[in-house]
Amino acid sequence: MDRDRVGPRVDGELRRMLLSPGQLEEDVRQELQFHVEGRVAELMDKGWTEADARAEVLAGFGDLERIARECTEIGMERLQRERRTQRIADALADFRYALRTFRRNPLFTAVVLFTLALGIGATTAVFTVVDRVALRALPFQEPERLVVVWEQNVSQNVTSDNPSGSNLFDWRQRSRTFSGLAAWMEVSRTLTGVERPEVLSAAITTGNFMSLLGLTPVQGRLLAPADEPPEGTPTVAVLSHGAWQRLFGGESMLGRSILLDGSPVEVIGILPDGLPAPRPEVDVWVPGELATPDWNRQTRSLNVIGRLAEGVSIEQAQADMDRVAAQLAVEYPESNSGWGVTLVPAHDQVVGETAQILFVLLAAVIAVLLIACANVANLLFGRAATRVREFGVRTAIGASTPRLRRQLLTESLTLGMLGGLGGVALAYLGVGLFLRLEPRIPRVEEVGIDLRVLAFAAAVSIGTALLFGFVPALRAGRADVSQALKAGGGSRARPGRSGRARPLLVVSEIALSLVLLVGAGLFLRSFFTLRAVDPGFERDGVYAAKVSLDRATHPDNTARVAYFDELLRRLRSVPGVAYAAVTSTLPMDPTGTDFDLPRHAEGHPLVSEGGAPQTDYRIVTPGYVEAMGMELLRGRTFNDFDRLETPRVLLVTESLAESLWPGEDPLGKRITIYYIQDAEWEVVGVVGDTHHHGLAVPASHQMFVPLAQAELLFGYMTVVVKAGAGLTLSLDQVREAAVAVDPNEPLFELQSMADFVGQSIARDSLATISLAVFAALALALALAGIYGVTAYQVASRRHEIGVRMALGARRGTVVRQVLGQAMTLALGGVAIGLLGAGALTSVTRSLLFGVAPLDPVVFLGVPALLLAMAALAALPSARRAASIDPVRAMRIE
């Protein structure tokens, strides 16, 4: 046996044992005693009597006790120092020894490190996202004092509607709990006067918006209240850092003028990138006088954010706003009766639902990590069995039990740290991949691996190492020296007590993976149910793009209608295009305009405008229903004869018609829409419902009016084109058609409806895919665990199996028995896992769509699958057991 095999630095164990405090005191006394005797002898040589000599010497010594005590104290300090040094030296030696051991067992080490790297890497990657998105405060000044302010109307079932500017004006005047209230509106502005005109994502904000958030400019200054233009167009603008780089190559823009929608504005500052609110995509910020009393109180279209005054709780602010809303409801019953205010903490508003999903994923990935830990612990147990002799030898030559335990823990920690390094590398790749998927979750632009994440990974690595190394280390101390040395080679060591710990580990692995599999199963079912929802329009072959109309060149509806007529005429002549149309509001468009108007339907009691029910309102051109592939159920769609001078006509959705006039023919019924002219519209057609806000959101009531008859001017409209059956169309030609009409009005955000639908369920698909991946990992690890433990059981019972086969046991019986043992473990794990999964339904309930949290398909199918896989994993060991040659197996003994 070469020196290395016995352990780290054998001489270290044989070296002088450290003194105990009692020994130290005894040493000191003996040393002093020696001195006294020596001096006494000296004096006696000179003729002193012994008694005199002793008295003389002791007198010279002074207080012998005190000296002894002082020496002992100093000696104790030395002992402590030596012990520390020894410990460090031991740790280093253990570490070097661990590395040597790993080099000698490359397969074992590779499997362990891979398992750990996978577990730690996945956990770290998920934590990276959770940390940035859900845990960290928003990057604003004192973000905990920021609240988003919504209007709400309980009777109309509106939980959060955008506030109107006049209400904001009154809130500012009357509330006492805010240090400020600011508003913004998302719009688009066309940048012209540059080589390639581009539609920018813009935000109009109140002058105090940026200072209220506590933003800091990269360059120049922020918008200030004094920048709010008294009327009409703003004269200054702030660019986002990204837009500044993209549009102007980062050259100095401060003080320079740019053309937005044809009007010159001066660039006064540059804002940093990565601000999660209102939206990270905003290119340009312009001031607007949004909080004014002349704003129509019914036009609820602002986003309002407030900063709570110092020391004010959100409950106090809510009570304050309830008071203000109640006053306004009395003063303006027309518009405000029934309307209240809801405050939502800004952090919840930005990440609320996403955070819930992320925490589910974090829990799932931690379960994977625990399973990985159990697997590694299992491997360590297996290896400890083959190292019984090594430890026996070391105990025999004086290594103490704590010393052996420390060595094993050092090996575990080394494995943990190496696995952690691999994990960080995997996490880095994983996060990169995750970002490549362009997940539509808030604050994702902030995600990245940083020191905090590295600290987390280190903590997880150490925690993991302690977790999987603790029990095997404890057990090492119990090795029976004489037994171990007698046992000869390490190949057939007795299972001992680890025989019980390993199956327990496997049971918990199976339980955990069952919970994950059930979760993944539920999410998958939910996701497929969601994807199968018919949105009410076609996804494939339908493309949509936005176009923003310059208010200067298209000042009124006539000009706009003329523009769109021309645009649609050109689009329809693009090869492959079957239909082309324009709408104010595209379904599932996260950045689109969407609003509802109060209306009164024929046959219903007349109520005041303020109390009138509101219905989603869309303006479309003829051909829209056809281009979207919506279903026409009754009557007709719009056509070119619906002009400004012809009677006003309206399309309603099926559910709206059914709720307004149940059992009646809706065609010919009239609806009054309260807007600029409170005009009456006649229903000429009923179309199928569409899921406007996402597949999971029930279809809303909608009404459609023709663009030619509409009174509204929109900032931008959406163009929809549909390819003819079996035809493909060139998106470039679609773009060119728009440029041909007006080079200053390019199409933007051109994508297919399938993309829009995909984006609307992107978060669900992200959660589903991640959970499925984690569950698959968990399953693979648990199966490896089953395989490992059965293989070990068979190996350690070779002899017994051999004897039984010699006594006539059939191969089939042996196979059944091995499988039976594995299945007992699997059944135990499945039973525990089912209890766990059942207990978690309250968490998953709100995240599932169209699937019961105790869905029988999942709750029966997953255990069956897991049991079948477990049997498969145990099969190789069972067959090995059956192929044992009784004669050879017994001869080894």
Partner 1 sequence: MPRVDATSLYGTVNLLILKTVSRAPTHGLGIARAIERGSDAMLQIEEGALYPALQRLERDGLLTSRWGISDQNRRAKFYELTKRGEDRLARELDGWVQSTRAICSVLEVGWTVTA
What φ, ψ does residue 695 adopt, rounded to 5°?
A: -65, -30
Instruction: Give the ranges where 631-749 is alpha helix by DSSP (H).
Output: 654-660, 731-741
With CB under 8 A as the contact rule, the residue among 4, 50, 63, 331 that binds partner 1 is: 63
Q: At 58, which helix (H) or strand (E)?
A: helix 50-61
Q: Does 41 bind partner 1 (CB under 8 A)?
A: yes
For partner 1, which is the closer residue by CB, 45 or 294? 45
Instruction: Give the ranges where 698-761 is alpha helix by DSSP (H).
Output: 731-741, 753-760
For partner 1, which is the closer residue by CB, 77 or 310? 77
Is the distance from CB of 692 to CB of 556 less than 8 angstroms?
no
Q: Minimum distance from CB of 9 to partner 1 (Å)?
A: 19
Cβ of 348: how many Cβ atoms within 10 Å?
A: 12
For partner 1, which is the closer residue by CB, 60 or 812? 60
The stretch among 34-42, 118-126, 218-226, 370-378 that binds partner 1 (CB under 8 A) is 34-42
For partner 1, which is the closer residue by CB, 67 or 154? 67
Is the distance from CB of 522 to CB of 853 less than 8 angstroms?
yes
Q: Minimum distance from CB of 123 to partner 1 (Å)?
A: 44
Contacting residues for 795 by C-beta, under 8 A, at least 6 apart: none
List 205's β-bridge partners, or say none.
Answer: 184, 287
Q: Does 30 bind partner 1 (CB under 8 A)?
A: yes
Cβ of 867: how many Cβ atoms within 10 Å?
A: 18
Pick out residues in 71-100 that bind partner 1 (CB under 8 A).
71, 74-75, 77-78, 81
Q: Minimum distance from CB of 27 to partner 1 (Å)?
A: 7
With CB under 8 A as the contact rule, the residue among 5, 20, 26, 38 that binds partner 1 is: 38
What φ, ψ does residue 747 adopt, rounded to 5°?
A: -75, 150
> Rounded to the nearest 10 degrees, what angle do helices 106-130 and 346-386 cross at?
170
Q: At 183, which helix (H) or strand (E)?
A: strand 178-192
Q: Let me know the angle formed at the C-alpha of 117 by 877 and 527, rounded to the nearest 5 degrees.
A: 85
Location of structure tokens 């490190």: 113
The stretch among 57-65, 279-287, 394-402, 406-414 that binds partner 1 (CB under 8 A) is 57-65
With CB under 8 A as the contact rule, the residue among 32, 803, 847, 890 that binds partner 1 is: 32
Is the distance from CB of 124 to CB of 453 less than 8 angstroms?
yes
Q: Does 34 bind partner 1 (CB under 8 A)?
A: yes
Pull the structure tokens for residue 180. Answer: 């400020």
Q: Does 67 bind partner 1 (CB under 8 A)?
A: yes
Q: Minimum distance from CB of 15 to partner 1 (Å)?
A: 12
Is the distance from CB of 416 to CB of 369 less than 8 angstroms?
no
Q: Minimum distance from CB of 95 to partner 1 (Å)?
A: 24
The stretch among 56-64, 179-187, 668-676, 717-725 that binds partner 1 (CB under 8 A) is 56-64
Could you say which DSSP state residue 227 is in? Answer: G
Is the distance from CB of 227 to CB of 236 less than 8 angstroms?
yes
For partner 1, which is the closer residue by CB, 18 or 455? 18
Q: Minimum distance from CB of 17 to partner 1 (Å)?
A: 13
Q: Minimum distance from CB of 32 to partner 1 (Å)?
A: 7
The alpha carbon of residue 261 and the mean position of all alpha carbons in its chain are separated, in whole angstroms, by 39
Could you say which DSSP state residue 231 is in? Answer: S
Q: Does 50 bind partner 1 (CB under 8 A)?
A: no
Report the candidate in 287, 245, 289, 290 with the shortest Cα–Cα distance to residue 270: 245
Quote the CA–CA distance of 435 and 444 in Å, as a whole number: 8
> Rounded to the nearest 10 degrees, what angle do helices 856-882 and 811-839 cross at?
150
Q: Minimum distance from CB of 48 to partner 1 (Å)?
A: 17
For partner 1, which is the closer residue by CB, 70 or 736? 70
What φ, ψ does residue 854 adopt, rounded to 5°?
A: -110, 35
Pull the structure tokens for residue 92. Answer: 């280093």
For partner 1, which is the closer residue by CB, 63 or 450? 63
Q: Does 15 bind partner 1 (CB under 8 A)?
A: no
Pull the structure tokens for residue 163. Answer: 């506030």
Q: Minimum distance from CB of 424 to partner 1 (Å)?
A: 39
Q: Minimum distance from CB of 81 to partner 1 (Å)?
A: 7
With CB under 8 A as the contact rule, the residue among 22, 47, 60, 230 that binds partner 1 is: 60
The stretch among 62-70, 98-106, 412-420, 451-459 that binds partner 1 (CB under 8 A) is 62-70
For partner 1, which is the closer residue by CB, 57 or 522? 57
Q: Minimum distance from CB of 365 to partner 1 (Å)?
A: 49
Quote the CA–CA distance of 620 and 464 in Å, as a whole number: 60
Q: Does 70 bind partner 1 (CB under 8 A)?
A: yes
For partner 1, which is the closer residue by CB, 19 or 762? 19
Q: Does 39 bind partner 1 (CB under 8 A)?
A: yes
State the amino acid at position 448 in one-letter form: G
Q: Does 800 bind partner 1 (CB under 8 A)?
A: no
For partner 1, which is the closer residue by CB, 78 or 497? 78
Q: Does 11 bind partner 1 (CB under 8 A)?
A: no
Q: Minimum distance from CB of 406 to partner 1 (Å)?
A: 24
Q: Minimum distance from CB of 23 to partner 1 (Å)?
A: 11
Q: Does 27 bind partner 1 (CB under 8 A)?
A: yes
Q: Does 31 bind partner 1 (CB under 8 A)?
A: yes
For partner 1, which is the closer residue by CB, 37 or 893? 37
Q: Let me know the angle formed at the C-alpha of 203 by 201 and 204, rounded to the nearest 5 degrees.
A: 145
Kindly write down the DSSP assignment for every residue of 869-886, as one continuous string.
HHHHHHHHHHHHHHT--H
* Site residues, partner 1 (CB under 8 A): 27-28, 30-32, 34-35, 37-39, 41, 60-63, 66-67, 70-71, 74-75, 77-78, 81
